[in-house]
Amino acid sequence: MRLTGLVISVLIFAGFNSTMADEWLVHGGDKQGTRYSSLKQITPGNVDDLELAWQYRTGEKQRRGDEIFAQSKDQNIPLVVAGNLIVCTPFNRVIGLDPASGKERWVFDAEISLDLEEPSTYACRGVAHWRDDDSSEEEACHDRLLFGTNDLRFFAIDARTGKQCAGFGDGGVVQLPPSKPELYRGELQHQFPPAVINDVVVIGSAIGDNQRSDSPSGRVQAFSVRDGSRLWEFDAIPRSEDDPAYDSWGENGPGSAGSGNVWAHMAVDEERDMIFLPVSSPSPDNYGGTRPGNNEYTNSLVALRGSTGEKIWHYQILHHGIWDYDLAPQPLLVDLPRDGVMVPVVVQNTKQGLIFVFHRETGEPFFPIEERPVPQGDVPGEWYSPTQPFPVKPPPLIKLTVTADDMWGFTFWDKGKCRDMLAELRHGEIYTPPSLQGSVISPWTGGGANWGGPAFDPKSGLMIINTSRVMKVSQLVTLEDAEKDTSSDGFHYGPPEEMRGTPYAIKDQLFTSPWGAPCNKPPWGGLTAVDLANGTIKWDVALGSIEDQLPIPIPWNLGMPNIGGPIITAGGVIFIAATMDQNFRAFDIKTGEELWRDKLPATTMTTPITYEANGRQYVVVVSGGHGEVPSVRGDYVSAYALPD
């Protein structure tokens, strides 16, 4: 006998690990990455009454000066731990605030080196938390914060005081040297919070895209959360001929290939001792002639044993990556009903707008996945995979083809210009590869879905995910021609970027009209509700307004590219910033209707959090902008609540 929808909802909720009302202990709300809170003070009926409760400024904009600050991106996701709201600045200053007032309580400054060389950027997207259940609350480092830095150190500090944990590493810090000398200062960094699984802390790394074919190893490293001793590491590039993935790198193996790093959020199932890694591309990102073959375990979802680092299973989402389609969104761990039984699954969203769902323990697809033929290229020396995996369900979040009918413009003139440009470029199905002619890459490498990741509502079984829906042009250029091309406008396109160790440079630019608008039909950013159990889309709405690009600031919701993610509350409200228009928004989870918005003081490209303090529900978001994209810069932490 099948369970009714009501009973299913009750079972899902009963086994669900929602965040405690007065804490937000993990960047994703919980270690499963659901970004869900049991708080319900704010509802669709009263969300329009939200007001700014307090605002705090970190002072980094003034402290660093224009030149250094311009090289940073403020995308921090705060935590609420041990009675403190924890904020991390792009320069690895960690700050403890009063959650109810925003008053500063303590500051820890890692005093990082300020000599990073471009294209590296300063960033701290969050810190991790671990609670020592074997000690009392009064003991030092009972609650500790763990984080890597821009200059390759790994800290543990007390969440109550901000003081270093003396028993961790060397007085609270562990050095994390790269596997080989850096090409430039900042080629390898630690920008995302590590993941904690029981008494093990696991940290990934960010490695510069397209710099060289033999970039540093993207190894994931694990340490004892108590004393900082090294426990294990996992390299997504197989170094031994005994590894079954070794032959997927060509007859000579991977050689000196690098990257395959985990730069985004990991997900954790502590009960099963499993940690899930969204592994990125091998190097360089846009040319694979130096690494013929599928290149496993890169561009793969990899499940490891948290205590030992042993690989349990993996699934390669993308064969032989040459599009910079890293696995950026955090894996989502939930239980879904099937034939009256609750199945533990892991959901992997992608930059391509595809959604893969697997049985969490075995890696078997929850919905069928098909290998389908994809476009082939003709670049001398390149190797192309004849097929790529496509999930049968859920449907893609965005359109996977590009035709002349998809071109758009404010007028017939700019629409015609877009069609003319399209006719000169390779285009068509997704996975059209970069070419010497120039290829339309849709979606662009910012997504589809990006590192902000999804949120999941246990009551409705809906996954909420935001996507960007613009295109770019990728063109491979010989090194001789690249030296002659110095054109750039800073964002839409730049001079070709040399991929050292290959015969080519890569030239990327957004596919826009002469007026700067995306050539494809809007919306250019969207928010989607996916019924995960059925593999269907419930609703899809535009996310973002072009009001700041218009002569008169009319909120025209054509959607905007976005970076950051949503959260969901038990009150039935979705909160998300993320868009380039500076607006913070609330949506009704049942319908996708926009219920509320407020203009933030700077562009906000991160994820909010929510918690309760003194009986009042707060929603907090960090606004600082992004030095690599057009944005309004700042150093703000803003807290919203209903009138007191």
What positions carry a catalytic annotation?
Answer: 324
For the chain, the first-to-last Cα distance in angstroms comes to: 49
In whole angstroms, what is the distance from residue 461 CA to residue 454 CA? Answer: 13
Q: How many CA atoms lie within 13 A of 398 on its CB side?
A: 33
- At 249, is the secondary structure helix, strand, or coil? helix
**DSSP per residue over 367-426, as a string?**
S-EEEEE------TT----SEEEEESSSPPSS--B--GGGB--SSHHHHHHHHHHHHTSB
As given in the structure block, the two tokens for residue 349 are: 């969203």
| Cα R_g (the chain), whole angstroms | 23
**Cα distances (Å, whole numbers) of residue 243 to 235, 248, 293, 313, 535:** 12, 10, 15, 13, 35
Q: How many CA atoms lie within 13 A of 458 on its CB side?
A: 24
Q: Is the backbone peptide bond immediately before 244 cis, with ω within 30 degrees of 0? A: no
Nearest 5°: phi and psi at 473? -115, 125
Q: Which two tokens stand for residue 595?
A: 């219920």
Task: Please give the order of strands across the beta sheet that includes 143-148.
Answer: 128-131, 143-148, 153-158, 173-175
**CB neighbours (10 Å) of residue 536?**
12
As given in the structure block, the two tokens for residue 382 are 């390149």
The per-type count for the chain, helices as H runs and strands as E runs, is 5, 40
C-alpha distances in Å from residue 56, one per residue of 98, 622, 624, 636:
11, 9, 12, 6
User: Measured at the alpha carbon of residue 605, what is the angle toward residues 148 and 116, in degrees to the nearest 5?
Assistant: 40
Backbone φ and ψ of 481, nearest 5°: -70, -30
Helix (H, G, I), strand (E, B) or coil at 5: helix
Angstrom distance (rounded) from CA 97 to CA 86: 6
Let me know if 454 is exposed, middle or buried by CB neighbors in 10 A (0-12, 13-18, 19+). buried
What one-character-per-residue DSSP string does 39-64 give?
--SS-TTTGGG-EEEEEEE--HHHHH
Residue 486 near residue 495, CB atoms below 8 Å: yes
Task: Check if the beta carbon of residue 644 is closer than 8 Å to that of residue 65.
Answer: no
